Chains A and B, each alone.
Chain A
Amino acid sequence: MISIQHISKSYKEVQAITDISLEVQKGELFGLIGPDGAGKTTLMRILMTLLIQDEGTATMNGFDVIKDYKKIRNMVGYMPGRFSLYQDLTVEENLNFFATVFKTTVAENYELIRDIYIQIEPFKNRLAGKLSGGMKQKLALSCALIHKPEILILDEPTTGVDAVSRKEFWEMLKNLQQKGITILVSTPYMDEATLCNRVALMQKGKVLDINTPRNLVDGYTRKLYAIRSNDMHCLILDLRSYEKTDSVYAFGQYLHVTGKDDEVEATEFENFLMKKNHENLEVFDIAPTIEDVFMNMMGKGDQLT
């Protein structure tokens, strides 16, 4: 449904994306996962025909993003990263405006947006600028859907959104997928990768890997330990000072730790830390998350001094 072949784009001397190729299947929920500066927005803007690539080709449902840009614009729904509806129009006026631009009516496609729009309909006479963050997001999604697009492109819809609203938003996306819409969504939250069918892990304009979340996690072959004690900050510092430690990263209430060459046993970490007088020490094997996978792939040269 979306086909991207060797796309590169630079802004003056800054190389935004380098030689990206990927395919999104019809009906797929595909995630671009990566931090700021990974090139997610640039790639989406090229697909949306808002930006022209320096090299490579891309098609959306068979249409070329340069030659057939008018066809693509009619076929795709887009929710940019910044809230870009008319703040001085009401909820209802915004929705009518987008329907009219696409030569349709709200009534004609109401079925598609009903589940989402119904939550903000009680506020339909409120100015869009006066809505809360969660409501703005629902309105933006409704407007992106009002012309019944075949493909939906969402640029970081959950950034700056609280944990509860993020969950609700992903439930809405799953429902839209059920209706046959192909969805390309970007996010800096690694945990959201598990909610996609497939993801591309991106960093600094490059794709590190493309796979299902399951395969990414299964492809992580390192020995990973979860470690905790009463003084977590001290624990981090002690583990970093241990010559057999390779990496130490905080993961909520535990640290995720790898040993040099993956040859360090749990008991070795335990014995070392016992000598440092850690209380309530726990060391056990743990399965990796997508974030472990991502960090393991990140180039060592990108780390801070």
Chain B
Amino acid sequence: MKEKVIEVRNLVKKFGSFVANDHLNFDVYQGEIFGFLGANGAGKTTAMKILCGLSSPTSGEAKVAGFDIYKETEKVKRNIGYMSQKFSLYEDLTVAENIRFFSGVYGISPADRKEKQDKLLKDLGLESAKDSLIGSLPLGWKQKLAFSVAIFHDPKIVFLDEPTGGVDPITRRKFWDLIYEASDRGITVFVTTHYMDEAEYCNRVSIMNAGRIEALDTPENLKKQYSAKNMDEVFLKIAR
């Protein structure tokens, strides 16, 4: 059995009388690609904020990377990475400046940074673009770099919040290559998406509706359970 990197027990989050997260229970394992799906307003963002240490639950328990999400939020933040389509890199800083900034945020020493930065740029074939502004790079490169920066500090888990929204179909698929590579390296990937084809690429998928997790299993089992021919149908059956 693989190590659990996220453990959630009876997690509840209320805003006044509104229950945004209603007794969530789930585990996510090391190296797993975990799809976190749900309709708009189902409570995904609320749950993600709690797991990233940015918000406290009303009740219940959760551990992320082994740390308690009430008392050890700073340790949680050190051990996770985060990226979304809306926020990833600073467009008006260069490639090297972005790496330097995020290294600082994640507490990587300047000496370590130098070595890791050289390796990263070499691996990505971006050595010549080191001093280019992010805004001038093609979208595919930007995404590759944004993802690499999100896992630059070797987090146990990376949270991806709609990383592929509005991205062209080829770049979107190349992004999933990066996700698979990270997972092969043992990094857990926790990802949200509105593209139902991408739900098929996850090891397991949870589907939220009105604050609850209505389904959680492998895409294969979910399709069987809901007698659906693809994840789109599963989603429509649960969220409608």
A291 to B195: give the CA distance in the assembly, Å.
13
Q: Are B162 and A160 in contact (CB under 8 A)?
A: yes
Q: A133-B41, A250-B197 are in contact. Are A159 and B165 (CB under 8 A)?
A: yes
23 A–B contacts, CB within 8 A, in A order: A34-B168, A35-B171, A36-B166, A36-B167, A36-B168, A132-B41, A133-B41, A134-B40, A156-B166, A159-B165, A160-B40, A162-B39, A162-B42, A162-B239, A165-B39, A188-B166, A190-B169, A250-B176, A252-B197, A253-B200, A291-B169, A303-B140, A304-B138
Which chain B residues numbered 217 to 240 have a C-beta less than 8 Å away from chain A? 219, 230-232, 235-236, 239-240
Residue-wise interface mask of A (258-299) relative to B, using a CB-CB cutoff of 8 A (1 in contact, 0 not): 000000000000000000000000000000000100110010
Across the interface, which residues of A come within 8 angstroms of B196, CB to CB? 163, 252
Chain B, interface size: which category? 35 or more
Q: Is B141 located at the chain interface by the 8 A CB criterion?
A: yes
Chain A, interface size: which category? 35 or more
Find the residue from B168, B194, B201, B235 having the highest chain A CB count within 10 A: B168
Q: Is A302 located at the chain interface by the 8 A CB criterion?
A: yes
Q: Are B168 and A164 in contact (CB under 8 A)?
A: no
Across the interface, which residues of A come within 8 angstroms of B194, CB to CB? 160-163, 166
Q: A250-B176, A291-B169, A298-B168 are in contact. Are A164 and B236 (CB under 8 A)?
A: yes
A162 to B240: give the CA distance in the assembly, Å.
11
A15 to B195: give the CA distance in the assembly, Å.
29
Q: Taking the nearest CB of chain A, how far is it from the CB of B86, in angstroms?
A: 9
Chain B residues engaging chain A, CB cutoff 8 angstroms: 38-42, 125, 138-141, 144, 162, 165-171, 173-174, 176-177, 180, 184, 194-197, 200-201, 219, 230-232, 235-236, 239-240
A161 to B193: give the CA distance in the assembly, Å.
10
Across the interface, which residues of A come within 8 angstroms of B176, CB to CB? 250
Q: Taking the nearest CB of chain B, how far is it from the CB of A64, in angstroms?
A: 31
Q: Is A232 located at the chain interface by the 8 A CB criterion?
A: yes
Q: A35-B166, A291-B169 are in contact. Are A250 and B40 (CB under 8 A)?
A: no
Chain A residues engaging chain B, CB cutoff 8 angstroms: 34-37, 132-134, 156, 159-167, 188-190, 203, 232-233, 236, 249-253, 291, 294-295, 298, 302-305
3 A-B pairs with least C-beta separation: A35-B168, A304-B140, A252-B197
Residue of A nearest to B171 (CB): A304
Q: Are B167 and A35 in contact (CB under 8 A)?
A: yes
Across the interface, which residues of B come within 8 angstroms of A166, CB to CB? 194
Across the interface, which residues of A come within 8 angstroms of B171, CB to CB? 35, 304
A163 to B168: give the CA distance in the assembly, Å.
18
Q: A159-B166, A160-B162, A253-B219 are in contact. Are A165 and B200 (CB under 8 A)?
A: no
Across the interface, which residues of A come within 8 angstroms of B162, CB to CB? 160
Q: Taking the nearest CB of chain B, how far is it from the CB of A258, in angstroms?
A: 14
Residue of A nearest to B174 (CB): A304
Q: Are A167 and B169 in contact (CB under 8 A)?
A: no
A37 to B168: give the CA distance in the assembly, Å.
9
Q: Taking the nearest CB of chain B, how far is it from the CB of A248, in angstroms?
A: 9
Q: Are A161 and B140 in contact (CB under 8 A)?
A: no
A117 to B138: give the CA distance in the assembly, Å.
41
Q: Are B169 and A36 in contact (CB under 8 A)?
A: no
A233 to B202: give the CA distance in the assembly, Å.
11
Find the residue from B166, B167, B239 having the highest chain A CB count within 10 A: B166
Q: Taking the nearest CB of chain B, how far is it from the CB of A190, in angstroms?
A: 6
Across the interface, which residues of A come within 8 angstroms of B184, CB to CB? 233
Across the interface, which residues of A come within 8 angstroms of B239, CB to CB? 162-164
A37 to B173: give the CA distance in the assembly, Å.
18
Q: Are A252 and B230 in contact (CB under 8 A)?
A: yes
Q: Are B230 and A303 in contact (CB under 8 A)?
A: no
Q: Are B231 and A252 in contact (CB under 8 A)?
A: yes
Across the interface, which residues of A come within 8 angstroms of B230, CB to CB? 252-253
Q: A163-B232, A295-B169, A298-B168 are in contact. Are A304 and B41 (CB under 8 A)?
A: no
